[in-house]
Amino acid sequence: MQNRKKIAIVGVGLIGGSLALQLHEKKLSSKLIGVEVSANNARDALEEELVDEIKPFDKAITEAEVIILTTPVNTLSKLVPEVLDKIDNQIVIDLGSTKYDIIKSINGHPKRGRYVATHPMWGTEFSGPKAAVRGAFEGKAVILCNKEDSDRDALEWVEKMFTKIGMRITYMDAKAHDLHVAYVSHISHITSFALANTVLEKEKVESAIFEIASAGFESTVRLAKSNSSMWVPIFLQNKENILDVLKEHIAQLSKFKEYIENEDAHNLKALIIDANKIKRILK
């Protein structure tokens, strides 16, 4: 691995904080600078020793050699070009869950090559610096988008960083990325939010939910605890793809409703057997 670098993390929450832990442990950073708009998050990031210091945005990106942006996706389309406007030759990375709009915002930028678009496929339902998890990214996938538009040295450093913290690298076009994550990530959160709301609407006795909720229910609605300030921007920025997958999901739910109403055991069984095929992929 190349020499350690001074790294600024803009947004030291769950993702930024978890990454900071591994940047420390894998000796990838000579210094970690945090940037936080929340005074509470700034205090917690220092107390948890996720970063060495907190600095204002402009000072941090001037001093850092690598700038990692982990803010909500609705801010990244404005933030990435702003950072590119201010840098000299630093490496700029974002960890957002959508990519097409961000990349579109910097098409033709003279410093486009200093930016590497990434999406680590990991997260929990919790938020903030105190939610940071040690070893979070080990064995997980990370998607790098439109790598051909990044400078070779910037891409190589980012690839080595993710490899050293234990991630498997996959490459995708940004538009394809946004489509695929709608199917395998974003719809999971919508389903979890909807199921939680369904149960809360129908089951008015909270103690009953607590007492009889099974492990299956808990694992399904776990994502419903996720932070709205993160997920509302994701849903709106990836609107086209999410609406497409939602239509299919609703159609599948309608089939279950129809077959149960009609006591159609044959077709109900067929639906479940079709669903069982997922075992070939997720073992």
Model confidence over 52-99: pLDDT tens digits?
Answer: 999 999 999 999 999 999 999 999 999 999 999 999 999 999 999 999
The separation between the first and the last C-alpha atoms of the chain, rounded to the nearest angstrom, is: 34
**The pLDDT of residue 271 is above 70:** yes
Return the SS3 of 141: strand
Residues 5 and 29 sit within 8 Å (Cβ to Cβ): yes
- Mean pLDDT confidence for 171-183: 96
When the pLDDT of each residue in the chain is averaged and rounded to a whole number, the result is 94
**The pLDDT of residue 280 is above 90:** no
pLDDT computed for residue 210 by the predictor: 67
pLDDT computed for residue 282 by the predictor: 78
CATH number of the domain located at residue range(s) 177-280 in this protein: 1.10.3660.10
Q: Where are the domains of the chain?
A: 5-173, 177-280
Supply the pTM of this predicted model. 0.88
In this structure, are strands 141-145 and 115-120 parallel, antiparallel, or unpaired? antiparallel
Q: Which of 222, 204, 190, 99 is nearest to 150 (CA)?
A: 99
**The pLDDT of residue 239 is above 60:** yes
Question: Which tens digits make up the pLDDT trace of 89-98?
Answer: 999 999 999 9
**The pLDDT of residue 47 is above 60:** yes
pLDDT computed for residue 279 by the predictor: 87
Which CATH code of 3.30.110.40, 2.40.160.40, 3.90.650.10, 3.40.50.720 fits the domain covering 5-173? Answer: 3.40.50.720
pLDDT computed for residue 215 by the predictor: 65
Return the SS3 of 10: strand
What percent of the chain has pLDDT above 90?
85
Q: Is 76 left (phi over 0), alpha (psi -120 to 50) or beta?
A: alpha
**The pLDDT of residue 250 is above 70:** yes
Question: Which tens digits make up the pLDDT trace of 15-43?
Answer: 999 999 999 999 999 999 999 999 999 99
Question: Which tens digits make up the pLDDT trace of 116-149?
Answer: 999 999 998 889 999 999 999 999 999 999 999 9
